Structure 1
């Protein structure tokens, strides 16, 4: 407890104000990463990076999940909704007038942005992401999805989750393979599967690669896993859109 005359810092400020923790949050703000990748990016020892990741995880700003490729490894993910709420609370703690205004949406990009979502079977995670980006996207942002080893059909629970949660009908869609897109140009490639990340090729004109370590909902029994995965992907897609438009503005015409 703070002594008399002292003011207790908001929880988000206490966590985010440390320079290394802020750097780690910045690195995780778009793409999920493993500890060794974060170590290479921030140039600090692994034990120090792991310590601060644990602080962020204990504070609820970062989550971790086991890799579906190598169960001994983990991916770390920044919870941007919690960060947004933490920033809002910190502003209000300083002055009530600093409450964050509601976002009015992302402006249209200065040029067309092509986004490719990739998972293994293209039967659940990547078509869900494609459909949700199409739903949220402003003019000038286009989504496609494909699989490294496409299945014969979309998973029926993925179709149902999108229909129930968002009114999106994918019943007529079929999975496609990456090999059908070799001549396409994509600005951003997003992998949603740890296995697909390791084998996804580079595409002509590709500006950025992003990884979302989303557990395959088909690996869990019941439909709740698909609803959880759909909600997770929807949150990630909403936070991706401002990144796409900002990137287009900074890069200018291709």
Structure 2
């Protein structure tokens, strides 16, 4: 995607459509299936599917088969790509309008509390917990748990965090029951299976889904790819947490 000499940059043309903007806005919070997006935007499924295809063709949105039910597909907004396209869009209008990268931001009010969950709590959710704690600089209360916790952390998860991010991942997987009485502002599921069985928590935290394949079930550099994707999502979560803290303090 890029700008044209005779028209608006393609990001502008894509995002300017009201329904596509609604879809982008909903997907900016987390991953959804088509039927869920239909309910959120209140438009027919064929129309939603058409505009999702436009966003996929423009490389702003990706699709991934559910690891729990392969008949379902989760749609994901590539926030990093959106940031690049927004920066290029500003520069296309005037060099002084080039946007800089998103900076992690955490407010000074009561810290947000975030729970990450996956099935085994041995790779994806502890990686997310460690990365949010790292990027949040102590300004976020964060925990992780699983519906069917493994006996220990996956050694490749420990290795990739140490080698790639300089983080020592320690502790043992724990069950969701161990955090059932805690207050959370966000509960983020990182695998499609646990999304279906994740219990309700008190105070009605915001539920968000990140559809990330189990790296232990994939060959090659799956743990590197999973950690990098989680890291990107965590960095873009931080400004949302800051906004949440400010609204709680108002």
Q: Which TM-score band applies after superposition, normalised by the shorter structure? A: over 0.9
* Further displaced range: 56-65 or 244-253: 244-253
Change (3 A) 1:109 1:79: farther
Which residue number corresponds to residue 40 of structure 1?
39
Cα distance change on mapping 1:176 and 1:200 into 2, 3 Å: same
- The residue that corresponds to 2:28 in the other structure is 29
Question: After the TM superposition, which residues 7-26 of structure 1 pair with which residues of structure 2 at under 5 Å, given as runs?
Answer: 7-26=6-25
Alignment-derived partner of residue 105 in structure 2: 106
Is 1:90 the counterpart of 2:86 in the alignment? no
SS in 1 for 2:232: helix
* Number of aligned residue pairs: 246
Deviation sequence 1:64-116 (CA, Å, 0-9, x none): 10001110100000000111111111111111110113444313242121100
The whole-number CA distance in structure 1 between the counterparts of 2:236 and 2:223 is: 20
- Give, in angstroms, the shift of residue 138 of structure 1: 4.0
Q: 1:109 to 1:49 in 2, by over 3 A?
A: farther
Q: Secondary structure at the match of 2:63?
A: strand
Unaligned residue ranges in structure 2 (runs of 5+): none
Query: 2:236 corresponds to which residue?
Result: 239
Distance 1:53 1:21 in 2: 7
Deviations 1:94-147 (A, max 9, x none): 111101134443132421211000000000000000000001004431110000
Q: What is the deviation of 1:167?
A: 1.0
Q: Is the 8 A contact 1:108 1:139 kept in 2?
A: no
Matches of 1:84 and 1:102, distance apart in 2: 7
Distance in 1 (CA, whole Å) between partners of 2:159 and 2:195 is: 26
Paired residues of 2:104 and 2:235 also in contact (CA < 8 A): no
- Structure 1 segments of 4+ aligned residues over 2 angstroms from their partners: 101-105
Q: Determine the C-alpha separation between the residues in 1 that align with 2:140 and 2:200.
A: 20
Distance 1:104 1:66, change over 3 A: closer
Q: CA-atom RMSD, angstroms? A: 1.3
Partner of 2:248: 251
Partner of 2:155: 156
TM-score by length of 1: 0.93
Q: 1:101 to 1:220 in 2, by over 3 A?
A: closer
Q: Report if aligned partners of 1:118, 1:126 keep a CA contact under 8 Å in 2.
A: yes
Mapped to 2, the partners of 1:163 and 1:104 lie a distance apart of 23
Gaps of 5+ in 1: 1-5
Give the 3 Å change call, closer, same or farther, for CA 59–166 of structure 1 in structure 2. Answer: same
Verify the 8 A CA contact 1:116 1:188 in the aligned structure 2: yes
Matching residue of 1:189: 187
Matched, 1:230 2:247: no
